[in-house]
Amino acid sequence: MNGRKRSYGQHRRWLWDNGKRTCIYCGVKLTITPGQKNSMTLEHIKPLSRGGYNKRSNYAPACHGCNNGKGSAIAEEFARNIIPRLSAPSASMEGKK
């Protein structure tokens, strides 16, 4: 588990830099600053315990409340609907500053 914390931060930053700045579940605007109410958490869309991968295509931004409150089954439901949107090359949420 060495380095997990560092890569966690890097992946959060990657999401942030790619315009993924709202919670995939409730749509709240996230902040990159740790310790805030709406701080971004790194969500594994497909949980590692269910065969998900520790890589970017499996990451999505979520707020603390949703990340803590959801079960793995819920995440998979969302994955079906949201992953295509997240990976769309020109999502409308991008390009806005």
Binders of Zn ion in range 11-70 (CB under 5 A) = 23, 25-26, 63, 66
* Cβ nearer to Zn ion, comparing 23 with 60: 23
* Cβ nearer to Zn ion, comparing 26 with 90: 26
Residue 39: strand pairing partners: 31
- d(CA 26, CA 17) in angstroms, rounded, equals 20
User: Min. distance of Cβ 92 from Zn ion in angstroms?
Assistant: 19
H-type helices in the chain, by residue range? 4-17, 64-69, 72-86
Size of the site for Zn ion (CB under 5 A): 5
- d(CA 25, CA 41) in angstroms, rounded, equals 12
Residues binding Zn ion (CB under 5 A): 23, 25-26, 63, 66
